[in-house]
Amino acid sequence: MKDVTISEVEPFIKTDPPVRLVLRRAKDRETVVDVKGIEIGGREIVVMAGPCAVESEEQLLSIARAVKASGARILRGGAFKPRTSPYSFQGLKEEGLKLLDLARTETGLAVVTEVMDARHLDVVCAHTDILQVGSRNMQNFTLLEEVGKCRKPVLLKRGMSATLDEYLQAAEYLMKGGNDQVILCERGIRTFETSTRNTLDLNAVPMLKRHTHLPVIVDPSHGTGHWWMVPRLASAAIAVGADGLLVEVHCHPESALSDGQQSLTPPDFDRMMKTIRAVAAAVGRQ
Ligand code: PEP
Ligand code: MN
């Protein structure tokens, strides 16, 4: 991809002082994040899939086996869950992290899970291959500073009301701390539209790829809130240049403890994987 001139950057990077390290011109090549040999930001489309929340050993292992069989490379699953209501299931916490270890050992999948609080950073780091910083914490600058000191890949989700400028400044916090293994993730933004949970901003993908060297993935599950929309938006994401996907999968979405309405069943996930393989090939990806 060709470098951009400062005049091309200015229309969207408005703040002063501007971001530096995340910009394409700060580096002479794309950032490829290596997660135990899995390259995110290379030619391969990397799919991360699993339940919204880790609920039990049986739940997690059955989903992990299924997504692996369909071609996912990384298992997602929340152990510390940022829930809007304090009365909703908050996650299994450390017990959930141990179940992620079990699933990694059994399937060989790498693991991504969210860290919500700097006080949990050590324990989450000990059990995960990628640290997820969620939408609600994108501007938790003290957390970003602590995560920036870790030498572990980070999946930074876009804040639900964040402009791309604000998003890149959040990524800059991580890189300024010395952590250059940053993956960006578009997960939908708040708009006036209420028929979907969020509005998946696919404009963000080519815009971020144009201005930064960081890999960009898309989460069509939180981006739509409807399981039946997920495969279509997943295809669209690959078509516009995403480097990967983050997708929620559950064997029994109707009884999931969180986000069942946007979770694919394993057969639906398998069909989605076949389709995106064709889309990836059509855009020169693998
Ligand atoms: C999640 O991926 O489980 C999650 C809570 O997502 P977000 O931070 O995008 O809402
Ligand atoms: Mn979720």
Ligand 1 pocket test, candidate residues 84, 90, 219, most atoms within 8 A of CB? 219
**Minimum-distance ligand to the CA of 253?**
2
For the CA of 259, the nearest atom of ligand 1: 3
The pTM is what?
Answer: 0.95
How many structural domains are present in the chain? 1
Q: What six digits make up the tokens of 268?
A: 């639906």
Q: For residue 29, is it within any domain? A: no
Amino acid type, 281: A
pLDDT of amino acid 218: 99
pLDDT of amino acid 8: 55
Q: For residue 283, is it within any domain? A: no
Q: For residue 23, is it within any domain? A: no
Q: 13-42 burial string, b = 16+ CB within 10 Å, else e?
A: beeeeebebbbbeeeeeebebebeebebbb
For the CA of 132, the nearest atom of ligand 1: 2
pLDDT of amino acid 6: 43
Q: 241-271 burial string, b = 16+ CB within 10 Å, else e?
A: bbbbbbbbbbeebeebbbbbbbbbbbebbbe
CB 258 within 8 A of CB 88: yes
Q: For residue 220, is it within any domain? A: yes
Domain hosting residue 197, numbered range: 34-81+88-261
pLDDT of amino acid 14: 67
pLDDT of amino acid 5: 47
**Minimum-distance ligand to the CA of 256?**
2
Q: For residue 189, is it within any domain? A: yes
Q: For residue 25, is it within any domain? A: no
Q: For residue 8, is it within any domain? A: no
pLDDT of amino acid 13: 67
pLDDT of amino acid 87: 96
Q: For residue 274, is it within any domain? A: no
pLDDT of amino acid 7: 46
pLDDT of amino acid 196: 98
Per residue in 101-131, pLDDT (tens digit) is 999 999 999 999 999 999 999 999 999 999 9
For the CA of 185, the nearest atom of ligand 1: 9
Atom 4 of ligand 1, nearest CA residue: 134
pLDDT of amino acid 176: 97
User: For the domain that residue 132 is a member of, what is the CATH number?
Assistant: 3.20.20.70
pLDDT of amino acid 19: 82
Give the residues of the chain that fall short of pLDDT 70: 1-15
